[in-house]
Amino acid sequence: MRRLRLRHLWLALALWGALHPMVHFVTWLSGNGWSLPGMVAAWHANAATTGLTWDLAIAATVLTLWVLAEVAVRRNWAALLAIPATLLIGVSCGLPLYLWFRSRPV
């Protein structure tokens, strides 16, 4: 029963990690002309944002490699969905989504 509650928590965190950052992205994009290059430029506006951008890029790379390595062993093919979630939404969605897939009953 405890495992089931934790599994629901992973899914809830994946949804939060998808929706909450998206609100900020959409707000920024709507106020700045829906410019994806402009958003990428904003990620490098100063040393603090550049550091955070690199931190998240490295975390996304590590998570992607971890998913690939574990899927190769566990054959949990559905867990591969965590990779596009990570790359298209972010680590805040991809990591808890992967933990949700990984924690399914075997």
**What are the domain boundaries of the chain?**
2-102
Residue 2 pLDDT class (50, 70, 90 cuts)? confident
Residue 62 in this model has a pLDDT that exceeds 70: yes
| pLDDT, the chain, mean | 94
Task: Tell me the average pLDDT across 40-53.
Answer: 95
Per-residue pLDDT, 4? 76
CA distance 102 to 40: 32
Per-residue pLDDT, 51? 97
Residue 48 in this model has a pLDDT that exceeds 90: yes
Per-residue pLDDT, 1? 64
Residues 6+ apart with CB under 8 A from 78: 101
CA distance 36 to 92: 20
